[in-house]
Structure 1
Amino acid sequence: MSGNAELPGKKPRSIARRMFLGSLTMVGLASLVLWILISPPNSFHPMCTYTVNAQVTADVEISGKVRSSEVVYQNSRSRQWISIMNSAGCKQRYGNAHVYRLENDSVLIVPARLCYAAEKAFAASGHVDVLSTCTGKQARQDRAFFVDSASRPRKWRPAINGVDFRIVSMTATSTWRHPADDIETIAPNLLRAYFQRDRSRDIEWGDTPETVIDYHRRYDIKKHRPDGSFEFEVQYGRF
C-alpha cells in the first residue's frame, strides 16, 4: 500500500467533520445576527450607546380619576470617542413622553426621562421608583404640559405635578423591548404640530413640549406635506 494512500473511511470522516464545523459556524453566525436584531437599538452601534432601556409606567390622577401610561424609554447618547462631533446624533425618537387624553379632548404630556439619580439606581438593580428617587430639582416628571385639543391642537401651557395633576406612581424596569410610546394612537396630531415659544413671556424652547416630543419624528411627517409646513402651530396660552 502506498504511504500516501488514505485509510478506508478516513475521507468520509474528514468530510463529515468539515460539514459539522461549517454547520456550527452557521448556527453561531445566525445566533449572533438574532442577538443583534432582538437587542435594544444602539446595543451594537459604533457611535451610539445607552445605560437605560426601561419600561416606564406612570399612573396620574386628574380630576379624581387615575389614568395609566406605559412607554419604553432609552437614554441613548453618543459614545465618548465621538461625542464632540456627534453630540445630537443618537437622540431617541420614541418613548420620551407619557400622554393622557382627557374627556374634554385635552392632553396631558408627562416627561418619561429619568433623572441622573434614577439612572444610577437603575444601573445598579434594573428597577427604580422614579417618584422617590427624582425629587427636588431632579424631578423632571414634575414639569409637564397640557395641550388644549388632541384633535386640533392650538394652545399649550405648563402643567405642574401636585397642582394641575398628581403622579400616583412612576417606576422604571429593565426591558429588551425597543423604545416605544402611544402618541400615534392616543393623540396623533401632536406629531403634526410645532409648539411655539413665547419670548415676550420668557417662554423659551426649553420650556415647551418640543423638548419631549422629538422634532425629527415630527419632521418626517411635516416634510411630506405639500407646503412642507407643520399642520398645527400650537401657541403658548391659557385655556
Structure 2
Amino acid sequence: MKKLLIWTLAGLVASAAGFIFYEHSPPNAFNPLCTYDFAYRETVTLEVGGRQYTSSAVNQLTRSAQWVEEVNKGGCPRLSGTMLSFRLADNRLILIEMGMCQKAFKMFETRHGSGDVNYSVAMQEHRKVDIAARCFGIHRSIPNDFDGRSVRFDAFLIDSADKPTSWRGLFFRNNVATLNLDEHIRIVSAIAEADDAVPEDQLNKVAPAILKTSFVSTISDTPILPERTESPQFVASKDPLSDTDRLRLQNEAKGEGPTRDNLR
C-alpha cells in the first residue's frame, strides 16, 4: 500500500511538472503541424518631441512542420509578437513591425560544416545584435531600398491610439523619419536578443483598439497585426502623405546606386 501511494504521488508530481513545462513552453514547441527555427526579443527606443518611448516584443519565426508542408500551406497563425507599439504623449500611436535587416539577422546564424544553418546556439547564449548599427530603418540592409510601389513602410503613425481613423506610413533616413518641418521621429536604439521565449507584445496594454481596427489601403502596405477572429470596430484610412513620401524617396534614390535589397 505504501509503495502504491509513493508511485501515485510520483506520478502526480511528474504529471504536474509536465503540465507546467508544457504551459510555459513557447507555442508550437509541441505542435505537430507547426514548428519554429528562431525566436527573439526586440527592444526599440524612439525619440519624438524631446521625449523617449520604448517598446519590446518577442517574435517567433514559425513554419509548417515538414511532414505537412503540402497540406498546411496556409502556414501557422501569428497570434502575438508581430508589432512594436509606442503611445505618444498626445495619444497618437507609432507601430513598427518586428524584424530586422538581413545583415543583422545573419549575426544569429550558426553554420555547420554541412552548410546547414541553425539558431539554437544563439538562443542558448541569448546573443544580442545592435540593429540600429547594422540596418537602415531597422528593416533595410541598404539605405535607399525604396524600389517598388508596395515597398514596406518602416513605421506607421496612427492618429489616435483609442479611436483610430487614419494612418500614415513612414520611412527612416539615417534613422530619422520626418513628419513635418518641425517634428521628427528618431531611432535612439534598437537591440535584438535571441530568446527561446513565448511570443508577446504590448498592443493589448498600450493600444487595444488597434487590434479591433481595419487598416485600409489599395495595396498591401498596411500594418501586419496579430490574427484576429472578431469583427473590426474601427476603420483607419490611409493618409495620402504615405504615398507622397514613398514617391519622393524613390525619386531621390534613383541616383544613389542599387535600390533593391533582395535579402530583406
TM-score bracket, normalised by the shorter chain, equals: 0.7 to 0.9
Q: Does 1:146 align with 2:157?
A: yes
Match of 2:210 among 190, 204, 208: 190
Partners of 2:81 and 2:225 in 1: CA distance: 9
Q: Does 1:130 align with 2:131?
A: yes
Q: Deviations over 1:140-164 (max 9, x none)?
A: 9971111111122111111122223
Q: Compare CA radii of gyration and give the structure with the larger one.
A: 1
Match of 2:177 among 155, 163, 168: 163
CA contact (8 A) 1:131 1:170 kept: yes
For CA contacts below 8 A with separation 6 or more, give which structure has more relative contact order: 2
Give the aligned partner of residue 59 of structure 2: 73
Measured after TM superposition, the shift of residue 84 of structure 1 is: 3.0
Count of matched residue pairs = 207
Partners of 1:29 and 1:120 in 2: CA distance: 39
Gaps of 5+ in 1: 1-11, 199-203, 223-229
Q: 1:31 to 1:65 in 2, by over 3 A?
A: same
Give the aligned partner of residue 45 of structure 2: 59
Q: Which has the larger helix fraction?
A: 1
Gaps of 5+ in 2: 109-118, 143-150, 179-184, 242-264
Measured after TM superposition, the shift of residue 108 of structure 1 is: 0.6
Measured after TM superposition, the shift of residue 131 of structure 1 is: 2.5
Q: How does 1:6-25 map to 2 (within 5 A)?
A: 16=3
Give the aligned partner of residue 9 of structure 1: none
CA root-mean-square deviation:
2.8
Q: 1:166 to 1:87 in 2, by over 3 A?
A: farther
TM-score (norm 1): 0.73
Q: 1:145 to 1:115 in 2, by over 3 A?
A: same
CA contact (8 A) 2:53 2:88 kept: no
Q: 1:238 to 1:147 in 2, by over 3 A?
A: farther
3-state SS of paired residue (2:205): helix
Partners of 1:132 and 1:82 in 2: CA distance: 39
